[in-house]
Structure 1
Amino acid sequence: MSPATLSALTFVEPLPGLAPHTDFQLNPVDGAAGLFSLRPTEAPEIRLFVVDASVYTPGYAPDIAAPCRRIGLSSPQEARVLLVATADGASTTVNLMAPVLVNESTGASLQAILDGQGWPLRAPLGA
């Protein structure tokens, strides 16, 4: 996702723990390819970091066909897949169980919960 790409995202349902916010700004972090900050438009003091799965976890291939349809995509290959990153002391983990899916044409987004697929909630980044 280049700096010129879509930065306004609208979630079809609030992110867990961030209700009632559904409108967010996605901005690249300078000097870190594939790293973005995600902030609710109405509460910019709240910030999550997300990473582009294709950059940081190239082998990640969850079954996301059903949630992609909820954001207007006809195939999973059309989705931009972002992972919520959490820094905890000296390590950083990513949530592979609940990727953020983005329809880059419309900005429609969804955090998909992938129960039963065996993806971890906290996978070490770079493992």
Structure 2
Amino acid sequence: MKFSYKKTPWLIMRFFPSLALDQIAGNTSSRHEVKIVDEERQKIKFNCDVDVVGISCVTPQAPRAYEIADGFRKRGVKVVIGGWHPSALPEEAKQHADSVVIGEAELTWPRLLKDLERGELK
């Protein structure tokens, strides 16, 4: 019996996760507490005490990312979403989040936090 195995971009990304969340966390002021949760390793706790949830996703992850976003929003938690899929389809992503980051979040995160502190999340 012969088997064929083709590497797809999705499989490659699973083995080489984005460093964006780590970079954002590392560049966030110490007056903010940041916790990164990888759902493949840790269960999402929707009842946690947080002010905002940031979600990054690629297209194959978008349906689950939207479920997570909707779950937090139902509890009154602000949700920011970004990544390749939301950058490509921001209007779709906006249906599930309070703010959509288009492009690299590392560049806009400090401004987004200031907007959030002022109650003016865009």
TM-score range, shorter chain: under 0.3
Higher strand share: 1
TM-score, structure 2 length as denominator? 0.27
Higher helix share: 2
Q: Which has the higher contact order (CA 8 A, sep 6+)?
A: 1
Structure with greater Cα Rg:
2
TM-score, structure 1 length as denominator? 0.26
